[in-house]
Homo-oligomer: A and B are copies of this chain.
């Protein structure tokens, strides 16, 4: 498998574009409408937020996924269309307008929204903008860049990834774009992620692969512990790579799932790294747990702990907070068997052995934790279970952003 350029346009037969149409009113330079289109009908799959309060576009997208092949995804930023008047009607109108501009059926269009909750979506500006946007569609990486930019809210960088790999002797491409930033926690963690591939694969296996991979990528990141009402991850597969369709588990499916995992983990790490106000990407690696579930419970609790996040912000090797977060995670384990160390490109410092503090070089610890990418390594001393989760620190900037998000 090779990393390549091109994001959501890396795979054959996919075009994308992004444009400012006026959902975001405060800055006309900020794109707010994304369109991703396949030249031919696609098999598609999706996973969605576990929040009881689900945004209207999720309901509509689910219906359209169930209706059969898909041609396009339309998505806006600046308004979540959740708990909003005329939510479902406006989500349907977005699909209709995109379908009309593209000459396809409305149920062949999937729809997503991200932004403020509870305000009526200005669907008129979206309808007015879609003909222009569809005229801007490009097969090149520039199309993906624009699409990635147009789903950003408080994200500071667009997030793209793409790989090529081989299925049945054919070169297959897969790429994706994502946005994250706030309302991110390990339970379908990204607000929006769109993935395209030219691989031929059955809908059933596409859905399985997406579900399995989301569980070990997006569901293992945390920014603030708030699970959004809009979280959506969609994958469209148009089969243009010409491989014999993947219709059963085996080597081809595994290659496909590995590529999907590569894309999703890359995008998940980018989301955690670009968490609102974040200065550090925190990777928590747990090994020696009784089983993988225990390792995951513990690792998620550590990357979600506000106190641990604040300590990393301060480059403070306060490992007691790591043990504390493990302890209230709900996992059963023996604290007296736990080892903890901090690591980064600047080195590694062991701080806790068998549940007790070790003397350590405070200066080195400060250096290790001052790097952008820091790792919390935990060994639980009781089995072979392991897991990696990602998060970010909490900063003054997070408070500033979220103290005044709507206005």
Residues of chain A whose beta carbon lies under 8 Å from any beta carbon of chain B: 50-54, 80, 82-85, 116-120, 182-183, 185, 187, 224-229, 304-307, 310-311, 313-314, 316-321, 323-329, 331-333, 335, 351-352, 355-357, 394-396, 398-407
B405 pairs with A394, CB closer than 8 A: no
**Given known contacts A224-B307, A328-B226, A357-B84, A335 and B407 CB-to-CB distance under 8 angstroms:** no
Minimal beta-carbon separation of A40 from chain B (angstroms): 37
Q: Chain B: which residue is nearest A52 at the CB level?
A: B327
Contact B405 A229 (CB under 8 A): no
Measured between beta carbons, the chain B residues less than 8 angstroms from A83 are 320, 323, 335, 352, 355-357
CA distance A325 to B313 in the complex (A): 25
Q: Which 9 A-B pairs have the closest CB atoms?
A: A117-B320, A314-B403, A53-B327, A310-B402, A118-B357, A227-B328, A51-B327, A52-B327, A118-B320
Q: Judge whether A84 and B356 touch: CB under 8 Å.
A: yes
A84 partner residues in chain B, CB cutoff 8 A: 356-357
Give me 25 A-to-B residue pairs in the complex whose CB atoms sit less than 8 angstroms apart, sorted by A's number: A50-B328, A52-B331, A54-B327, A80-B320, A82-B320, A83-B335, A117-B318, A117-B324, A118-B323, A224-B307, A225-B225, A225-B304, A226-B305, A226-B306, A227-B328, A228-B324, A306-B402, A313-B402, A314-B404, A316-B404, A316-B406, A394-B399, A396-B400, A398-B399, A399-B399
Q: Which residues of B contact A307 (CB under 8 A)?
A: 182-183, 224, 226, 402
A324 to B310, CA, bound (A): 24
Task: With CB as the reference atom, state the residue of chain B lying closest to A332.
Answer: B52
In the docked arrangement, what's the CA distance between A2 and B324, Å? 39
* A83 CB, nearest partner CB in chain B, Å: 5
In this complex, what residue of B is CB-closest to A227?
B328
Find the B residue at minimum CB distance from A82. Answer: B320
Contacts of A406 in B (CB 8 A): 316-318
Chain B residue numbers with a CB within 8 Å of A226 are 305-307, 321, 324-325, 328
Residues of B within 8 A of A317 (CB): 406
A356 to B187, CA, bound (A): 25
CA distance A52 to B290 in the complex (A): 15
Specify which chain B residues have a CB less than 8 angstroms from the CB of A225 in the assembled complex. Answer: 225, 304-306
**Which residues of chain B are within 8 angstroms of A402 by Cβ–Cβ distance?**
306-307, 310-311, 313-314
Beyond A319-B118, A327-B53, A328-B226, is A85–B357 a contact (Cβ under 8 Å)?
A: yes
> Nearest-CB distance from A218 to chain B (Å)?
15
Residues of B within 8 A of A405 (CB): 310-311, 314, 316, 318
Across the two chains, which residue of chain B brings its CB closest to A400? B396
B403 touches A316 (CB 8 A): yes
Shortest distance between the CB of A92 and any CB in chain B (Å):
17
**Of all chain B residues, which has the CB nearest A116?**
B320
Assuming A52-B329, A53-B335, what are 14 further A-B pairs, CB within 8 angstroms? A52-B327, A117-B320, A118-B352, A118-B357, A182-B307, A226-B324, A226-B325, A229-B327, A314-B405, A316-B404, A317-B406, A396-B396, A396-B399, A396-B400
